[in-house]
């Protein structure tokens, strides 16, 4: 029973992380930008849902409202800062987004205060296997919403004109430009979509966990790791590695104790990177 509980907890957690990582993979792949402010966008999205909750609107509506607002926030950030660093060195973009991250933290702290807050969904609990496995409905809700958004996005990327333009730009920005794709617009839209995904995730986090202006960084790191493990442009891989990491985390927590939870995830990351390098070097030798 414990195994099932840990697996389900891990999957539900992982799906949510995968959604954030999905946005990161998208804009990293398209714009070659590592967005350190990813987690702060998530928290900002969470605050939108929280304020709806404060004003008596059910926070679940946040998953609709928050991405809409966050899309424009994302486009705004792109127009103000990111468009100036998009063709530059990766290091410059890390610095720029790190700056945005600090600015966002301070602004959120100034605007919303430093209290830890949460939005109560009142969704209750699901009991499985004779009450031996317990799943909060808010977590199930957040996993379902994450999956729905991810599927919609995959379809949108495949079918829509903008989606195709984004994929073309990701493959070769120069060629796309020659063929008439307005890459500037594509970049803005990509950053906007990423922010919107963060908005959805933030709203879900305010329902399932807690939010605080300075809590963004763990989400950035986690999504960074998921993308590293999955590789860029590998969207099913992002989903799988998100869930895999979630399950791994829960098991590590259960078996080794909570203090080893984050450490074991990082250890796994190192092992995967070493393994990959090993595999790649073998491939190179073979090619010789």
The answer to whether the CB of 261 falls within 8 A of the CB of 253 is: yes
First to last CA, the chain: 51
Mark the segment that binds other proteins (CB under 8 A) among 57-65, 117-125, 142-150, 169-177. 117-125
Residue 66: which of 194, 199, 193 has the closest Cα?
199
> What character string, x for contact with other proteins (CB under 8 A) and - otherwise, covers 159-198?
----------------------------------------
- What are the backbone dihedrals phi and psi of residue 129, each rounded to the nearest 5 degrees, phi first? 50, 60
Q: What burial class does residue 190 get, using C-beta atoms within 10 Å of its C-beta: 0-12 exposed, 13-18 middle, 19+ buried? A: buried
| 2 part of the interface to other proteins, by CB under 8 A | yes
Nearer to other proteins, 189 or 253 (CB): 253
Smallest gap, in angstroms, from Cβ of residue 101 to other proteins?
Answer: 14
Residue list 23-82, contact with other proteins (CB under 8 A): none
Which of positions 195-224 make contact with other proteins (CB under 8 A)?
209-210, 212-215, 217-218
Spatial separation of the C-alpha atoms in residues 199 and 195, rounded to whole Å: 6
Contact by Cβ (8 Å): 60, 137? no
Q: Closer to other proteins at the Cβ: 40 or 253?
A: 253
Q: Is the CB of residue 50 less than 8 Å from the CB of residue 117?
A: yes
Q: Which of 4-12, 177-185, 187-195, 272-280 is the region at the interface with other proteins (rule: CB under 8 A)?
A: 4-12
Q: What x-and-dash track marks residues 230-259 binding other proteins by CB under 8 A?
A: --------------------x--xx--xxx
Q: Which residues sit at the interface with other proteins, rule CB under 8 A? A: 2, 5-6, 9, 13, 106, 109-110, 113-118, 120, 125, 127, 134, 136, 138-139, 209-210, 212-215, 217-218, 250, 253-254, 257-259, 261-262
């Amino acid at each position: 029973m414990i195994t099932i509980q840990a697996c389900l907890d891990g999957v539900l957690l992982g799906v949510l992380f995968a959604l954030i990582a999905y946005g990161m993979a998208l804009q990293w792949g398209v714009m070659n930008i590592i967005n350190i402010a990813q987690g702060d966008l998530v928290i900002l999205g969470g605050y939108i849902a929280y304020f709806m909750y404060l004003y008596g609107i059910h926070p679940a509506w946040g998953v609709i409202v928050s991405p809409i607002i966050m899309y424009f926030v994302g486009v705004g950030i792109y127009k103000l800062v990111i468009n100036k660093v998009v063709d530059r060195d990766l290091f410059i973009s890390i610095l720029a987004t790190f700056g945005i991250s600090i600015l966002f933290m301070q602004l959120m702290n100034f605007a919303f205060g430093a209290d830890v807050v949460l939005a109560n969904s009142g969704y209750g609990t699901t009991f499985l296997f004779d009450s031996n496995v317990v799943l909060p409905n808010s977590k199930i809700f957040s996993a379902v919403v994450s999956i729905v958004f991810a599927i919609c996005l995959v379809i949108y990327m495949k079918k829509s004109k903008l989606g195709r333009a984004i994929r073309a730009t990701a493959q070769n920005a120069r060629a796309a430009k020659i063929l008439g794709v307005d890459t500037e617009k594509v970049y803005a839209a990509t950053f906007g979509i990423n922010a919107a995904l963060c908005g959805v995730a933030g709203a879900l986090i305010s329902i399932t966990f807690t939010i605080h202006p300075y809590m963004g960084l763990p989400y950035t790191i986690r999504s960074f790791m998921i993308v590293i493990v999955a590789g860029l442009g590998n969207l099913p891989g992002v989903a799988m590695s998100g869930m895999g990491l979630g399950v791994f985390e829960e098991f590590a927590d259960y078996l080794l104790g909570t203090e080893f939870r984050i450490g074991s995830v990082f250890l796994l990351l190192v092992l995967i990177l070493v393994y990959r390098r090993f595999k790649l070097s073998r491939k190179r030798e073979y090619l010789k």
